[in-house]
């Protein structure tokens, strides 16, 4: 019989495997989930804010439309109506820009959180493997 160890013996490989810090691995995953929850909150808050703002915008547009209808007497010049239409269009563009800015702000906040968490994951992964 030979003294050589079998290549199929798992004990041969046990000492070659790197140590794994299980607690650190769970902590990293916990932090990942916390980041995802924070991102979810950002988008939930955005949805609430946008719903509230769009409701306000619709009410404002409806009120302006009603006011326009009440002031029409048939004697106004077409140029007067065009001024009202221009003001309404400017307001609609400003509202659209506000909505876009709200979305971009939330998106930037969410991306920032995810990028920071990803960078921390690389550092933590080095520590987990010993």
Domain ranges of the chain: 20-128
Mean confidence (pLDDT) of the chain:
86
Using DSSP's 3-state secondary structure scheme, residue 86 falls into helix
Tokens of 130: 């010993």
Rounded to a whole number, what is the distance in angstroms from the first to the last CA of the chain?
A: 38
Rounded to two decimals, the pTM is 0.71
Whole-angstrom distance, CA of residue 95 vs CA of residue 81: 21
The size of the chain, in residues, is 130
Which segment, 71-75, 85-89, 99-103, is predicted with the most confidence on average? 99-103
Q: Answer for the pair 117, 35: CB distance below 8 angstroms, yes or no.
A: yes
What is the band of 77 on the pLDDT scale with cuts at 50, 70, 90? confident
* Residue 85: pLDDT band with limits 50, 70, 90: confident
Angle (nearest 5°) at CA 28 between 127 and 118? 90
């Amino acid at each position: 019989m030979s003294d050589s160890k079998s290549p199929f013996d798992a004990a041969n490989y046990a000492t070659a495997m790197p140590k794994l810090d299980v607690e650190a691995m769970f902590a990293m995953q916990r932090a990942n989930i916390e980041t995802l929850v924070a991102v979810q909150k950002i988008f939930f808050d955005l949805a609430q804010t946008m719903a509230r703002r769009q409701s306000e915008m619709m009410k404002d547009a409806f009120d302006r439309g009603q006011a326009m209808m009440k002031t029409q007497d048939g004697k106004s010049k077409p140029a007067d109506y065009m001024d009202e239409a221009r003001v309404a269009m400017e307001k609609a563009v400003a509202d659209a820009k506000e909505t876009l800015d709200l979305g971009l702000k939330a998106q930037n906040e969410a991306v920032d959180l995810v990028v920071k968490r990803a960078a921390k994951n690389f550092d933590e992964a080095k520590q987990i493997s010993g």
